[in-house]
């Protein structure tokens, strides 16, 4: 049997049987893993109450011969975010990013940059509260780190803007075509749907932003919605099935316009 140890963030935990839990983790050195935590609902010694949403700690795991799931032997809690349990918006954002990482990351493939990006986001979410702009920054950064990032500041086909003479860049018409890589200039085709210049420029500004930057400036709700919808189209290309966290937000009344 093989033993593994890694810094890890808990992405999901579901009850199994009378006392066990099945957990999904992203390990900094192991990538996404699923494991059986035996007795997790009773044992404080081995898990120390550290199997809450997005808990950060040191995970000790063991391969089980012939089993799809690993065994989580121990989880030494290092960081937990109490604010997620008391603030609905924080909890919803945490659940959303955890589900994104779980769905987009391939199993057993180390994604060190993704781990660090998620860790930085969670700290900012805990300290600074839920922010629609920070969520957009996270989505764009996650896609970029996985090699799925859309082109937003120039044409995904020709690499240029092809601005007509005398027309400000903010007024140049682009279309949004996720299948071709993002923003497409008029000269490269009419597939996709029009994307408002203000939305494209917002996306371009967020693409290089730090996810834990303090004081990210808000944008009008319609700009956020346009950006959210554009990113959602990219995400759908790389995921199967709906996101349960979005359904949860809707049921719990978390605002889907300016809040997410």
| CA–CA gap between residue 207 and residue 136 (Å, rounded) | 9
Confidence of residue 167 (pLDDT cuts 50, 70, 90): low
Determine what percent of the chain is predicted with pLDDT higher than 70.
Answer: 88
Flag whether the pTM goes above 0.85.
yes
Residues 32 and 155 in one domain: no
Is the confidence at residue 232, as pLDDT, over 60? yes
Confidence of residue 256 (pLDDT cuts 50, 70, 90): very low
Is the confidence at residue 257, as pLDDT, over 50? no
| CA–CA gap between residue 167 and residue 236 (Å, rounded) | 33
Confidence of residue 153 (pLDDT cuts 50, 70, 90): confident
pLDDT of residue 177: 96
Residues 146 and 58 in one domain: no
Residues 209 and 161 in one domain: yes
Residues 19 and 114 in one domain: no
Q: b/e string for 60-84 if b means 16 or more Cβ within 10 A? A: bbeeeeeeebbbbbbbebeebbebb
Domain limit, last residue, from 80, 109, 130? 80
| CA–CA gap between residue 46 and residue 26 (Å, rounded) | 19
CATH number, residue 147: 1.20.1440.120
| CA–CA gap between residue 254 and residue 257 (Å, rounded) | 9
Residues 191 and 233 in one domain: yes
pLDDT of residue 258: 41
Q: How many domains does the chain have?
A: 2
CATH number, residue 44: 2.40.50.140
Domain limit, last residue, from 50, 80, 110? 80
Residues 76 and 91 in one domain: no
Domain limit, last residue, from 80, 95, 111? 80
Residues 151 and 228 in one domain: yes
In 188-241, where does DSSP find H-type helix?
197-207, 221-237
Higher-scoring residue by pLDDT: 41, 184: 184
What mean pLDDT is predicted for residues 66-93? 91
Determine what percent of the chain is predicted with pLDDT higher than 90.
Answer: 68
| CA–CA gap between residue 144 and residue 151 (Å, rounded) | 10
Is the confidence at residue 252, as pLDDT, over 70? no
Residues 222 and 95 in one domain: yes
Is the confidence at residue 229, as pLDDT, over 50? yes
Residues 12 and 34 in one domain: yes
pLDDT of residue 247: 76
pLDDT of residue 240: 82
For the chain, the C-alpha Rg in angstroms (whole number) is 20
- Reading the block at residue 76, the tokens are 């030494």
What mean pLDDT is predicted for residues 41-62? 83
Is the confidence at residue 248, as pLDDT, over 90? no
Residues 138 and 102 in one domain: yes
pLDDT of residue 189: 81
Residues 105 and 63 in one domain: no
Range of the domain at 179: 87-260
Higher-scoring residue by pLDDT: 219, 162: 219
pLDDT of residue 123: 97
Residues 50 and 69 in one domain: yes
């Amino acid at each position: 049997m093989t033993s593994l140890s890694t810094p890890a963030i808990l992405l999901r935990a579901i009850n199994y049987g009378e006392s066990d839990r099945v957990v999904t983790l992203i390990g900094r050195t192991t990538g996404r893993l699923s494991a059986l935590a035996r007795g997790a609902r009773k044992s404080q010694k081995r898990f120390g109450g550290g199997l809450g949403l997005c808990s950060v700690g040191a995970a000790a795991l063991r391969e089980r011969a012939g089993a799809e799931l690993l065994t989580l032997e121990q989880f030494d809690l290092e960081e937990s975010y109490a604010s997620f349990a008391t603030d609905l918006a924080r909890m919803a954002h945490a659940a959303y990013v955890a589900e994104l990482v779980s769905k987009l990351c391939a199993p057993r493939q180390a994604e060190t940059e993704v781990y660090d990006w998620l860790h930085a986001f969670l700290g900012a979410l805990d300290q600074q509260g839920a922010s629609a702009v920070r969520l957009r920054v996270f989505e764009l950064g996650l896609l970029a780190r996985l090699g799925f990032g859309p082109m937003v500041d120039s044409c995904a086909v020709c690499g240029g803007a092809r601005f007509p003479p005398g027309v400000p860049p903010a007024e140049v018409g682009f279309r949004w075509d996720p299948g071709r890589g993002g923003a497409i200039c008029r000269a490269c085709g009419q597939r996709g749907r029009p994307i408002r210049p203000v939305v494209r420029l917002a996306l371009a500004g967020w693409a290089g932003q730090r996810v834990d930057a303090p004081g990210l400036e808000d944008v009008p709700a319609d700009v956020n919605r346009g950006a959210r919808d554009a990113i959602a189209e990219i995400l759908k290309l790389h995921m199967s099935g709906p996101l349960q966290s979005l359904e949860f937000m809707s049921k719990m009344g978390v605002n889907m316009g300016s809040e997410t």
